[in-house]
Structure 1
């Protein structure tokens, strides 16, 4: 069995599309107005972005430990991603560091969603 897609609800669909295209290399496959966007990562995974319903409180947040994790092959890729993140205008609280058996960068974006970029080949 293989996980092939995930539907992520976001407060600002255009911001999320730009974020995933610019930082993670996702390609926009289909968009239905300001409601839904379908993106692919080029490795067989599909990310569906959906606008959060306007009925939700503006301060809605995912649970504290909810996160999206991305694995890369080298520590250099983690460091380069950190530079790319800064250039994009998204700050991380900490620089990448060794933790839990990998070289990892954590940061929050898109209204507080936690992201992880890790290399386990140290």
Structure 2
């Protein structure tokens, strides 16, 4: 079995789309006005951004997060530096934790992201 897609409810489609395209290499392949954007990522993964309840700010459970695994420590540092340069709030520098080189940040819509490279 393979995970096909992830739908994230966000308050602002354009802002979230720009974030995932700019920092994580997604490409938009379809839109439905300001209600939906379909993005394709590495390996053919589909990320759907939706705001079907117009202006409703979604809330996610406290520990909900999305994880991105990169191919090297250098890639983790590169993404971190790009986010930092863009003014994205980053609670800590990348560090070794639980067998990974890792950092966390929030995407638009307060979605917690984990960016890591496995050390093992």
TM bracket, shorter-chain basis: over 0.9
Correspondence 1:98 to 2:108 = no
- Give per-residue Cα distances to partners, 1:84-105, cap 9 Å, x unaligned: 1112221201011110110101
Which consecutive residues of structure 1, in runs of 5 or more, have no partner in the other structure? Answer: none
Q: Runs (4+) of structure 1 moved beyond 2 Å?
A: none
Gap regions ≥5 residues in structure 2: none
Number of residues paired by the alignment?
Answer: 120
TM-score, normalised via structure 1 length = 0.91
1:49-68 to structure 2, matched below 5 A, reads: 49-51=49-51, 53-54=53-54, 56=56, 58=57, 60-68=58-66
Deviations 1:42-67 (A, max 9, x none): 311011110151474x4x42111100
Q: 1:21: which partner in 2?
A: 21
Task: Output the CA distance in 2 between the equivalents of 1:88 and 1:55.
Answer: 25
C-alpha distance in 1, partners of 2:16/2:55?
19
Q: TM-score under structure 2 normalisation?
A: 0.92
